[in-house]
Amino acid sequence: MSLRINDVAPDFSAETTQGTIRFHDWIGDGWAILFSHPKDFTPVCTTELGYMAGIEDKFASRNCKIIGLSIDPVENHARWAKDIEETQGHLPRYPMIGDTDLAVAKLYNMLPAEESGSSEGRTAATNATVRSVFVIGPDKRIKLMMTYPMTTGRNFDEILRALDSMQLTAKYKVATPVNWKQGEDVIIAGSVSDEEARTLFPQGWEAPKPYLRIVRYP
């Protein structure tokens, strides 16, 4: 199944380091980030999960939960977490899914093209889940998807930045420009007429072009 932005995120049950979850129930009425990593006890993944552990509170302050996934068993996740804390300075306290039967990985297209479809004989170099990220909104729909190759660690600050944008634009009829950061000026959404904009933004706006209407951060 090919997933697209605004599709309902597939629901599933899975074993995690914090017990069995039903994904939609676990999300609740907030936001969630589901991200996969290729393999436990590998270098790039260790840095990624440690960094996420260090900024988990920033996601929590935005009413957003985070959950990791690989095809390793939950027991491996728990042992590896000690290495992550020792080398990265942060212990992952968010749940990590042990997707040993590849059910969730297949559901979310987290496997590379050459994937054999079997969990047998998997290594960090072959048949591993790619570095996928899914941001899911309170309506359980997919708001963002990102996929990185195995050799490239992700920029989770960018995912936090994107979350700020998505939460802002879900509340106001605005869009965010290139490299936007929280607190910076925004753009009036193209779907908003000038007449409606005068009501929504009585302070006015700058418009270097009719279609480019810049307003202060709401």
Q: Considering 45, 64, 96, 110, which one is annotated as catalytic?
A: 45
Known catalytic residue at 45: yes
* Widest distance between CA atoms in the chain: 63
Tabulate helix, strand, coil % of the chain (nearest 5): 30, 25, 45
d(CA 68, CA 194): 44
Cβ-contact 135, 165 below 8 angstroms: no
d(CA 52, CA 92): 8
Taking the mean position of all CA atoms in its chain, how far away is CA 155? 11
- Among 118, 109, 114, smallest CA distance to 147 is for 109
Beta bridge partners of 69: 36, 97
d(CA 137, CA 6): 9
- Among 82, 16, 88, 93, smallest CA distance to 60 is for 93
Which residues are known to be catalytic?
Answer: 45
